A and B are shown apart, each in its own frame.
Chain A
Amino acid sequence: MSAYNAFVTREAIEGSGEGPLAGKTVAVKDNISTAGVRTTCGSAMLEDYVPPYDATVVQRLKQAGATIPGKTNMDEFGMGTTTETSAFGPTENPAAEGHVPGGSSGGSAAAVAAGEADLALGTDTGGSIRCPAAFCGVVGIKPTYGLVSRYGLIAYANSLEQIGPIATSVEAAAELLDVIAGQDDHDATTRDFDEHVGTGLAEAADGDVDGLDIGVPTELLDGADEAVVETFWDAIADLEAQGASYHEVSMESLEHAVEAYYVIAMSEASSNLARFDGVRYGPTPEYEGNWNEEFAKVREEGFGEEVKRRILLGTYALSAGYHDKYYKQAQDARAWIKQDFDEALGEADVLASPTMPVPPMKRGESLDDPLTMYLADANTTPVNLANLPAISVPAGETDDGLPVGLQIVGPAFGEREIIRAGSALA
């Protein structure tokens, strides 16, 4: 086993051919289907689930010559910010021992930070690539919605999530994104990569930020930890020294992003996770009740507490009498946030903020207080609601030696802009 519990399953899947990833290892988050290798989503519900097919991104990794060294640990079904809700135990942060690695792709970020894999794939529904990248001191990219196929990704919240790369440098992350991005007949939301972004993404990692105009949304600094804010401004000063400039911008809508995100994500989850009924996959039911009784028992046993919490809250938000109050309002907030981003990105090349408003939490300290854990996603969730691309790059460390990430947000399909800007720092 890995010293950091970064992997749920250690089983090598060899790629073929001499592609751009030949000789490289790419760890894959355990909610991405791998034919013949079990895929658990960090859940007891899927402890023995072995997918009969590969996700499109896995096929592309294999064709590019990569070796997949195993499947990485994660918060159960992607629901968490600390990689502590996994049924296979928590992952430790290699860059800040005693602290959480962030989540939900904590195993992927920890594997890369610890050198147990060259690269990794994570998934980002509300920050699940960027948060662990920030906490583990590595680079993570959440691509524009529709850039990467979700075929074979076990769904949590379809309208928000994207698969993306984690690496030790921006250039390496860009190379991996180049391999996995692109249209896929199996996912009708995917768009043409060449037409919208253009291959050869790694070339954009040239570190040239001369003349770059950075907007800094003040709402994403309000309430952030002092040590994080200090490290953030140091990184902005570094970019300024390389020829970039910044201006502050106000985006009032962002104050409602976390609430809107959780209402939408939980609502989608309550529907998506209805498939786990113990009939097509899941624990063997040995009960004597009728369909509904057995269904409810399998789900009591198979799901952990955070997953139950989100399914129930999503069911509540969609139930008669509450739909308009929660779900419809959240969709309005989503449209408002998109509008605010369009405006702000009309007057700046990219936007920057701390990736997480807090440094990595101590292990075990956030599990009893779900609301506080949700609020830690304040800076990452707006990006998913607006379908935009964002990168997290290491910005430095707090005085206590804890990693801080800088988040750079670009316009839709502006992967080149965020890769260029990020590469000036990592």
Chain B
Amino acid sequence: MLRLMLRIRRFEEKLAELFKRGKLPGFVHLYIGEEAVAVGACSALREDDRITSTHRGHGHVIAKGADVSRMMAELLGKEAGYCRGKGGSMHTVDFSLGIMGTNGIVGGGIPIAVGSAWGDRQLGRDTVTVSFFGDGASNQGVFFEGMNLAAIWKLPVIFLCENNGYTEWTPTEKLTAGRISDRGVPFGIPSVQVDGNDVISVHEAVSEAVGRARAGEGPSLIEARTYRWHGHNEGEEAFSGPYRPEEEIEEWKGKDPITTFAARLVEQGVFAREEIERVDAEEKERIEDAVRFAVESAYPDPEEALMHLFYDERPRLQQEVNR
């Protein structure tokens, strides 16, 4: 878990750097500070379980097992990327790992996750789908509609709300009535709020929900309270102005999910500090390799822009990418 959290952190830090240097096409939303949610949740899943993700989705995708080299290649618009350069940050997909996509529409993944759970159930599988979404999405109609459908059909889906305190540039409490974790209650959905900076708490809550889902007992709602260290998107300073108190940012940095978990592991004698440093160094190296791989990869042939519109009419298959 610690290794995966470090991988996400180093990946995102590298993206921030690439963005600053103007090396990253488009715009990007970073996950730094929220790593415990993705890792705590995905570590409770099997490889054949599925997730839907958000615009801030790199952490979910890495935690679900995605290869950072192919992610980096996708983010640079290269042919070796997960989507051959067609998706980018907000549309990273790997169906073989159950990653049904990050998503550029707030709340857009919720109905897809509900449907994935319905499909699995109907086909007699015991797989589970986790829908990651933010506090902002908790005000979208599809959240309520999705909970209703999942509850009446008893679907194995987990609604996992990452409440990072800000809906884009506005404090969540100014836009969201009551507690998000209370919103499952009227639907009869077991609902809890957990410390989203504590990877173990997240893992335990998700494991419990997964157990219920696999047993055919239906959906769960988990609200994980956390905080994003970076802005809504990189480069927002250019237009957003300051909107979060410095002390608040510092306070949450003090609750860093990675350093607190690492300290706990050292304290309990699970790992020596040097071991953790070695793991971190390995992950930094992995990210450097990913950047090298992505930079050296070719851009897709521009004609590829006209491919893949319809599934049966594609001249080249995804297998080529997977190999």
The reply to whether chain A is a binding partner of chain B is no
